[in-house]
Amino acid sequence: MSERVYTVVPAPRREAIRSMAKRGERVDGRKPEEFREVKLEVGVAGNADGSARVTLGHTKVIVGVKASLGQPFPDAPNAGVQIVHAELIPLASPIFEPGPPDENDVELARIIDRGLRSAPALKLEDLAVVPGKQVWRVFIDIYPIDHDGNFIDASGLAAMGALLSAKIPKVTAAPDGTIVKAEEKVPLPIADIPVFVTIAKIGDVLVVDPCYEEELVMDARITFALTRDNHVCAIQKGGRGSFTPEEIERALEMALNVAPRLRSALENLRQAGAPQSA
Amino acid sequence: MSERVYTVVPAPRREAIRSMAKRGERVDGRKPEEFREVKLEVGVAGNADGSARVTLGHTKVIVGVKASLGQPFPDAPNAGVQIVHAELIPLASPIFEPGPPDENDVELARIIDRGLRSAPALKLEDLAVVPGKQVWRVFIDIYPIDHDGNFIDASGLAAMGALLSAKIPKVTAAPDGTIVKAEEKVPLPIADIPVFVTIAKIGDVLVVDPCYEEELVMDARITFALTRDNHVCAIQKGGRGSFTPEEIERALEMALNVAPRLRSALENLRQAGAPQSA
Amino acid sequence: MSERVYTVVPAPRREAIRSMAKRGERVDGRKPEEFREVKLEVGVAGNADGSARVTLGHTKVIVGVKASLGQPFPDAPNAGVQIVHAELIPLASPIFEPGPPDENDVELARIIDRGLRSAPALKLEDLAVVPGKQVWRVFIDIYPIDHDGNFIDASGLAAMGALLSAKIPKVTAAPDGTIVKAEEKVPLPIADIPVFVTIAKIGDVLVVDPCYEEELVMDARITFALTRDNHVCAIQKGGRGSFTPEEIERALEMALNVAPRLRSALENLRQAGAPQSA
Amino acid sequence: MTAGAGVKLLTEDGRRLDGRALNELRRCRIEAGVLKNADGSAYIELGRNKIIVAVYGPREVHPRHEALPDRMLLRCRYSMLPFSVAEERKSPAPTRREVEISKVIREALEPAIFLEEFPRTSVDVYIEVIEADGSTRVASITAAAVALADAGIPMRDLVAGVSIGKIEGKLAVDLSGIEDQHGEGDMPIAMMPRLGEVTLMQADGRFTREEVAQALRMAREAILKLYEEQKRALKERYSKVLAAELGEEQ
Amino acid sequence: MTAGAGVKLLTEDGRRLDGRALNELRRCRIEAGVLKNADGSAYIELGRNKIIVAVYGPREVHPRHEALPDRMLLRCRYSMLPFSVAEERKSPAPTRREVEISKVIREALEPAIFLEEFPRTSVDVYIEVIEADGSTRVASITAAAVALADAGIPMRDLVAGVSIGKIEGKLAVDLSGIEDQHGEGDMPIAMMPRLGEVTLMQADGRFTREEVAQALRMAREAILKLYEEQKRALKERYSKVLAAELGEEQ
Amino acid sequence: MTAGAGVKLLTEDGRRLDGRALNELRRCRIEAGVLKNADGSAYIELGRNKIIVAVYGPREVHPRHEALPDRMLLRCRYSMLPFSVAEERKSPAPTRREVEISKVIREALEPAIFLEEFPRTSVDVYIEVIEADGSTRVASITAAAVALADAGIPMRDLVAGVSIGKIEGKLAVDLSGIEDQHGEGDMPIAMMPRLGEVTLMQADGRFTREEVAQALRMAREAILKLYEEQKRALKERYSKVLAAELGEEQ
């Protein structure tokens, strides 16, 4: 329940970054509305049913997807199960400590979960094999391995990359309820491809895709998950500062502008894959 | 396994309270055998099946009861299940810390559990729906929210208030074992109405219903749970001091004297309720 | 994940022990290849199905075995289950702290588990009652109660002593799958009697069965579990130092030399018991 | 929250199940200073929601190494009592949901507090939900701000919150439990009422860009009403304290 | 403990299942100084109960912030080995029952110890039940007091305990496991034997006021017998230590 | 590991399922300096195994009371990502297996490090298995040694490891997952390659004395090959760092 102790930025450096922001400049030379170069690789973890590694500047995130048959949740007996887990492991940064998930791990997992669920990314109803009894349970495990800011957007991309590249056994339920797993593998049923875009507020300036130093000096951040048809399917404000309503509307506009480029890599994956149900 | 670090009473104040006790006086003007005013409200938590808030001086305790169908304990297949849980949340006092239950939480829950069970308060055998398979599991959750001493007696009153005011769905088991829940709600089957009375020893003096300052300076305490027919259905000695056997007998006499007044508010509740099975 | 803080041996004492070792001497007067006197008692915990206490110098270890019917592991449906648990309780030494198992508890349990499993000590396949459904689950609980070094070897002896002295109800499975427990008790099915021998390296010297002071100053240790026919059925190197391959071969020779004496007490137990299936 | 197949949340004349208009708050009552031990406290009823908040501090940080050299450490714990939920008893162990909500509530309160005024101290905000009926996180914020003020923590503004939901395609203020469960979206928003700045904003469901803008406007309006109730509760509290200090009965 | 439908615990001549009279203790044997590492230790067999106790201290408190400025910190941990119970293996994690018993045992021992003599230190009492057959908490106290004395902790008296049960309507001393399981009540009592003061008292079941008074008298009588065994064990221990110090074989 | 009833692991011409000879390692590729935040890092692919290692330190010990007055505190955490296993998703909580392996890996690395050179500091080695296919603990050691060197920790030698297994009665180098699962024994061995000293040795299965000796010889030979790859990776890393320092593009 307490704040994670972040490494402190020395006051002069802090002031320098904030003055640069005022002049429309950023520590890594980007423009305020500029997203860093994104690299997306899939199939990086061969025992997973789907996996992806996203590199965003120096930030690196690996996501693996594993699906197994099991019971549905009691309140949604006719739908598959989506479980998102994130762990800010100490390998990725000296500011992360070993131990059970803390509020930052939980927040990251829950933002991604909400965005995927509201879009929706997975057609959960297509993942029920024997409704009420046997459904696919899809685990999405997020592991940042190098930290240079903006884990949310990188994790969202890697999660979608892993889902889009995943293949699960084709199963059929016999009339007596027994389930037969075929050798044949099929992709997961994908309905939409949400992307996450985070905007940081530094003084009065909004910047897209903050790097780590910017996160340390920012006042607040706001993340939008955006569907293909430009709906907002999740929002999360973070940080100790506040936004005016106008700033929020401006941030949303910035997010809508960069979303198509982020999504394009994922769309490519999709076209490369097997025929999809949506 | 270690003692909770209690706020220390400054030595002069400590001595003052102890000398007052010798003269038959108490910090809040009460007589040694005098219980504080008790206020009992029921229905304070509308999502619970039964609930009560007890105010005892500045001490406040909320108890909620939730019942659900589930499996019996293997060693009592034909009886319902009673589970008492207590949590000394940091909201109630600066001396309580967040975290998993410690020995004080556990002791409080277990004293109340023993008193209710031995009286018995609930007729557990009447809570078996399909013996051996489906029984009512009754959770009694105790949450003190302001701490001015004597949580045990306040919790006991609130627990009984919550049980007496609870209503659960009327259920019937079809011959094939399926269970039908009716719209109609019925009270829980109550056999007895135990009350808890705690006596503190300060020097050579016994006082009923210690307030927080008295708890801080007392040598020891002893609690009796008492049934309607004046049986002792639970005892618990606490604290770093000891009692002579004579003091214990005297304490029991004091407890028997105040019990009827404490029970009267609960008896009123009962008469106000629907017809009872006992 | 961190090292347990061991009591430090003062430098002069440390040097003394190491020089003694060079001269072939040991703190308790033993020769390098000499195992301490072993005392093995069985039936020390009457509610266990089998139990043993081993005394090895001042080191004392109690092991209890409890068997109960339950489900097999999914990856071995036709075999009983062996679960080894060890707890270095603070009663046994000031260097042990209360709390959940740490790496030392886990390592001890897992070494014993591997040795018993690879020998194998228990014929797990004979412990399946209704294959795939109901099997014996055998819990082997290791509790050192006084610590003068070499818990591994003492625990191994006590574990085998407890297994060899254990009696479980004779059960039969009716065709409809119900299980009948007879009054009659039978021994556990034992296939082999592994013993564990630990050799410590102090400077260039190898010594068998290190006492606690020797463990504090040793460079490293290596344990061999040995079957009746002189197979190595488990190895575990521990400690911050290293061994040359020649030292390992020499250590194994030393272990093979002392193993028969250690095993003899166990063999006696076996002959004293009821007829065995092996 | 799942899309509400089959549950009608709006009547034919556009009213909600509990008779409210789309932009109508449920009845809200706040009481300040309800606990004796806490340095500040508040109790809120918003519809059937019942939430109690205690504030302790500013006080020495425990454990000490968590103290911050340049500002106060604010800590929040939001938790639901096991019997507060309409469903089966909730386990008392903190859920992931409670962990996340504790974090966003803290970050919703921090912008309003002069954190720099008490470096090396902590303020702890404990929130217990006694009865839950939708929108508990924002109701918790509304009450917590009152409890902080009651504790005398210096603040640049209060904070109040409301959820904007989407039911049958329309935006609605202050979702009830059943509306949250069967509606198409939930967007909790908290603001500093005087300054008009957003300190908490979350959403699930699907909203257009225009709906987001509209939700912010609706939230502002509702929050100003909640602000009046916050001020009323604090005024009542101060007059009681004052009366007590002047030697009268409280 | 549940009311014992159908299990007869008394024979027709008023004897108990193990042949004891109602006021008769089971055979009790105590040995002091059974462990080498501990500063004090004791082993007790009471009927089939087998319990070992180790005492460490007085020593520096770890973690330090738990140290008390004006007295010794006494800590107790009562635990049952997984195979000590007649039923299925007990999980090694501490149960709520063990947590409570650890607390009441500590509070049963504290009155006998001169806690003020060693401020800022701790004494840790570790109790492991190897075999359980009823009345383990009081047997643990009886052994723990001997272990404390063996450790040289200054005490104003020993402490010994016994359970008084109710079987077939009659009070009985020192309940066995089966009597505890099928009897009508259990009242564990510990006293300082010389001073005659009660340091632990608990009960479940139903007792009249007169039965409580009678139970206290029966407990006193039994505790004086246990006290003799405690003293015998300590005397034996001292003579062994003395013999060892005088250069003889122990 | 259970005896492999029915699964043939050797072809008729004595080759293994993946075509290797008995003394043949799988393809091994190591890359040093793969992470920006860590003080040292390495990535290893051994067959299908994919493992990443980060090293932090020497740095101040946290929590402080764990600092050692006379040497560096080395800490290791080996863990498998939930999706790294061929079976169903692994729970993220550390298993007993992971706890033990973390310990033996630490003790396999310690002999190679000049621990006394940095008293009162800690070095933390974090190992994450991304994809597992047998012999992960020894592959982790091989990578960890490179990561330690990359971090500039003074070492008397590198450490590399290999597993020697027993399949169809024959010793085989570098067990794959299927060989580990169906083989008759697994003996992981790590050595300091130049010094030829064994720093990790474990075994399950059954081995004769002669087989143990032979396994040590086979391990030595394989480890020298892994050592070449370790040196190549470090050389590549140094030349990149150097190039970067000389102002060239890396």
E29-49 pLDDT, tens digit per residue, is 999 999 999 999 999 999 999
pLDDT in tens, chain C (278 residues): 333 334 668 888 999 999 999 999 999 999 999 999 999 999 999 999 999 999 999 999 999 999 999 999 999 999 999 999 999 999 999 999 999 999 999 999 999 999 999 999 999 999 999 999 999 999 999 999 999 999 999 999 999 999 999 999 999 988 887 888 899 999 999 999 999 999 999 999 999 999 999 999 999 999 999 999 999 999 999 999 999 999 999 999 999 999 999 999 999 888 775 443 33
F7-30 pLDDT, tens digit per residue, is 899 999 999 999 999 999 999 999
**Confidence (pLDDT) at F2:** 43
Structural domain count, chain E: 1
E133-157 pLDDT, tens digit per residue, is 999 999 999 999 999 999 999 999 9
E145-194 pLDDT, tens digit per residue, is 999 999 999 999 999 999 999 999 999 999 999 999 999 999 999 999 99
Pair of tokens at residue C49? 């199905």
| Cross-chain Cβ contact A236/D66 below 8 Å | no
**Mean pLDDT confidence for B227-253:** 98
pLDDT band at E247 (very low <50, low <70, confident <90, very high): confident
Pair of tokens at residue A236? 């999360």
Tell me how far apart the alpha carbons of residues C83 and E244 are, in angstroms, rounded to a whole number.
Answer: 43
Does any domain span residue E218?
A: yes
Residue range(s) defining the domain that contains residue E154: 28-249
**A196 interfaces chain D, CB cutoff of 8 Å:** no
**What CATH number is attached to the domain comprising F62?**
3.30.230.70
E contact residues 54-93, partner C, Cβ 8 Å cutoff:
54, 56, 59, 77, 79, 81-86, 88-89, 92-93
**C92 interfaces chain E, CB cutoff of 8 Å:** yes
Cβ contacts (< 8 Å) between D84 and chain B: which residues? 45, 47-48, 64
Residue range(s) defining the domain that contains residue B168: 11-268
**Confidence (pLDDT) at F3:** 45
Query: What average pLDDT does chain B have?
Result: 93
Tell me how far apart the alpha carbons of residues F100 and F90 are, in angstroms, rounded to a whole number.
Answer: 17
Q: Name the burial class of residue C158, with classes exposed (0-12), middle (13-18) and buried (19+) by CB atoms within 10 angstroms of its CB.
A: buried
* D161 and D104 Cβ atoms separated by less than 8 Å: no
Q: In terms of CA atoms, which chain B residue is nearest residue E1?
A: B118
Cβ contacts (< 8 Å) between E86 and chain B: which residues? none
- Across the interface, which of E97, E199, E205 has its CB nearest the CB of B118? E205
b/e per residue E148-162 (b: at least 16 CB within 10 A): bbbbebebebbbbbb
Cβ contacts (< 8 Å) between F77 and chain C: which residues? 1
| Cross-chain Cβ contact D88/B143 below 8 Å | no
Strand runs (DSSP E) across C71-209, as ranges?
81-86, 128-130, 134-146, 167-173, 179-187, 195-202, 205-208
pLDDT band at F242 (very low <50, low <70, confident <90, very high): confident
Q: Which of E10-14, F126-130, F238-242 has the highest average model confidence (pLDDT)?
A: F126-130
C248 sits in which H/E element: helix C245-272
b/e per residue A34-50 (b: at least 16 CB within 10 A): ebbebebebebbbbbbb
| Cα torsion D91, D96, D98, D102: sign | positive
Mutation for C interface: E39, E48, E83, most C CBs within 10 A: E83
Distances (CA, A) of A58 to A92, A154, A210, F35, F131: 11, 11, 12, 8, 22
Query: What average pLDDT does chain F have?
Result: 95
Q: Is the pLDDT of residue A6 over 70?
A: no
* A93 and F37 Cβ atoms separated by less than 8 Å: yes
B73-117 pLDDT, tens digit per residue, is 999 999 999 999 999 999 999 999 999 999 999 999 999 999 999
Cβ contacts (< 8 Å) between A102 and chain D: which residues? 99
A148-165 pLDDT, tens digit per residue, is 999 999 999 999 999 999
Mutation for D interface: B47, B82, B106, most D CBs within 10 A: B47
Does any domain span residue E15?
A: no
**Confidence (pLDDT) at A9:** 80
Tell me how far apart the alpha carbons of residues C163 and C50 are, in angstroms, rounded to a whole number.
Answer: 6
F54-91 pLDDT, tens digit per residue, is 999 999 998 888 999 999 999 999 999 999 999 999 99
pLDDT band at A177 (very low <50, low <70, confident <90, very high): confident
- Across the interface, which of D115, D200, D208 has its CB nearest the CB of A231? D208
Regions of chain D where pLDDT drops below 50: 1-4, 249-250
Mutation for D interface: A242, A244, A254, most D CBs within 10 A: A242
pLDDT band at B178 (very low <50, low <70, confident <90, very high): confident
| Cross-chain Cβ contact E204/B222 below 8 Å | no
b/e per residue C25-57 (b: at least 16 CB within 10 A): ebbeebebbebbebebebebbbbbbbbbbbbbb
Does any domain span residue F18?
A: no
Return the closest-CA partner of residue A136 out of B237, C21, C202, F89: F89
Q: Is A79 helix (H, G, I), strand (E, B) or coil?
A: coil
Interface present between A and D (3 or more CB pairs within 8 Å): yes
Structural domain count, chain B: 1
Does any domain span residue D1?
A: no
The ipTM estimated for the assembled molecules is 0.95
Cβ contacts (< 8 Å) between E209 and chain B: which residues? 230, 232, 249, 252-253, 256
| Cross-chain Cβ contact A233/D96 below 8 Å | no
Q: In terms of CA atoms, which chain F residue is nearest residue A55?
A: F35
From B3's Cα to the closest Cα of chain E, the distance in A is: 7
Does any domain span residue D201?
A: yes
From A188's Cα to the closest Cα of chain D, the distance in A is: 20
The rounded percent of chain B whose pLDDT value lies above 70 is 95
Q: Is the pLDDT of residue E225 over 50?
A: yes
Does any domain span residue E17?
A: no
Interface present between F and A (3 or more CB pairs within 8 Å): yes
Does any domain span residue D88?
A: yes
Mutation for A interface: F77, F102, F130, F140, most A CBs within 10 A: F130
Q: In terms of CA atoms, which chain F residue is nearest residue A83?
A: F89
Pair of tokens at residue A58? 């120096």
| Cross-chain Cβ contact E107/B239 below 8 Å | yes
From F46's Cα to the closest Cα of chain C, the distance in A is: 24
The residue count of chain B comes to 278
**What CATH number is attached to the domain comprising C249?**
3.30.230.70
Q: Is the pLDDT of residue F248 over 60?
A: no
Mutation for F interface: C235, C246, C253, most F CBs within 10 A: C235
pLDDT band at B271 (very low <50, low <70, confident <90, very high): confident
From E160's Cα to the closest Cα of chain B, the distance in A is: 13
Does any domain span residue D19?
A: no
- Across the interface, which of D197, D204, D209 has its CB nearest the CB of A242? D197
F38-56 pLDDT, tens digit per residue, is 999 999 999 999 999 999 9
Which residues, 6+ apart, have CB-to-CB distance to D75 below 8 Å?
A1, A2, A3, D106, D122, D123, D124, D125
Pair of tokens at residue A2? 């307490």
**D195 interfaces chain A, CB cutoff of 8 Å:** yes
Q: Is the pLDDT of residue B246 over 90?
A: yes
D204-245 pLDDT, tens digit per residue, is 999 999 999 999 999 999 999 999 999 999 999 999 988 888
D127-141 pLDDT, tens digit per residue, is 999 999 999 999 999
pLDDT band at A5 (very low <50, low <70, confident <90, very high): very low
**F18 interfaces chain C, CB cutoff of 8 Å:** no
Does any domain span residue B5?
A: no
The rounded percent of chain E whose pLDDT value lies above 70 is 96
**C143 interfaces chain E, CB cutoff of 8 Å:** yes
| Cross-chain Cβ contact A47/F88 below 8 Å | no
Amino acid identity at A79? A
Tell me how far apart the alpha carbons of residues F150 and F141 are, in angstroms, rounded to a whole number.
Answer: 14
